[in-house]
Structure formats: structure tokens, C-alpha cells
Structure 1
């Protein structure tokens, strides 16, 4: 289809955006549209701003957390010690019961 079938295109304006990796992207917007302050860089995905000397900072990613790190967020050291003591007491009781059963069967 040509311009005659579609009608005239809306007036456009191209705006330069710059990301922290020094990439430049120039999307076009309708002349009367509001231009956003930030635009996602299509090359690296970082946010891009209109000031080439002060681009927006890249988003901070949280490092991978281990299971232990999540447990430490939920429990205090005293809670952990109490749980450990309880588990050790159960193990000792089970061991004593097994040793008693072995002695009873040996006699």
C-alpha cells in the first residue's frame, strides 16, 4: 500500500537515548506524543536516557541466595541453636534405643 491508500503519516520526531554502555538508540515518536524520560536499550536492555553524559544507572541485580542465606534471614542464632539441640537429642535417643535393642538381641 502506498501513502495514497493509507493516508498521510503523522509528523514524527526522532529522539536520541543513551545507556550506560554508551549505546545510542533513536526511536521515533509522533510529534504531539509525550517523549518518555527513559527508554530500554535494545542492545543490552539497560535503561537509556536523553543525556549522553549522564545515562541512567543500570538496575542492581540481587545475587543468588543459598538456602542457608534464606534461613538466616528468618531465624536468629539462638533459634538455630535450639533447633540443632532438639535434632541432636532425637538422634542420641534413637542411637541409644538401637544400641539397647542390639544388646537385648545379643543376650
Structure 2
């Protein structure tokens, strides 16, 4: 047992492989290697820019739309109307005032 490199005779034979080209919207090409009998994925993340890449060079996948950061208040305003907010605030203030009177 040595620390030298192992040859194919010791590891066994490599499975047949195939390289497939994928292109992103920025025109980058990536060529991952797959087993010959493996099912190919429709898209592949570009290792250079991270965008999704497809096999059609002329029509790469569209750039995903990123949602801007929303605060907690923005999410609350989506779910509640202005009158709902006022009713909740009034109820909370009444509870606080009732506790102070004790």
C-alpha cells in the first residue's frame, strides 16, 4: 500500500460520459459532463454568473425577476386595510389603558 496514484485497473473502468453545452442569457457556455445514460436537466446554473442556462444557444432561459426587499410593515399592509389597522390599534390602546387603571 503506497500513496501513489491509482490506475484504472485498481479503480475499475470509467462509465461512458458525454458533455452537453448550456448557454445563459449573458452568452456564457458551460459544458458539464453526464453519464451517457443519464437524463439531461432542462437547465443548468451558469458557473460564471449564476443565471439559469439552457441547451438552446439562440433562446437561453430568461433572467429571473428578483423581488425587492420588503419590510414587515409592507407585508402587513398587503394583508390588512387601513381601517383594519386602525381597529387593531384602537383595541390595543384600550387594553393598555385598562391595565394602567388597575
Fold shared, TM-score > 0.5 on shorter chain: yes
- Equivalent in the alignment of 1:100: none
Does 2:25 match 1:20?
yes
The Cα of 1:17 is off from its aligned counterpart by: 0.3
- Please, what TM-score do these two structures have when normalized by structure 1? 0.70
1:47 counterpart (27, 49, 52): 52
Secondary structure of 2:14's partner? coil
Equivalent pairs, count: 89
- What's the RMSD between the two structures over aligned residues? 2.1
- Equivalent in the alignment of 2:72: 67
CA distance in 1, matches of 2:12, 2:73: 63
The Cα of 1:52 is off from its aligned counterpart by: 0.8
CA distance in 2, matches of 1:58, 1:12: 30
Structure 1 residue runs without a partner (length 5+) = 94-107
Larger radius of gyration: 1
The Cα of 1:59 is off from its aligned counterpart by: 2.1
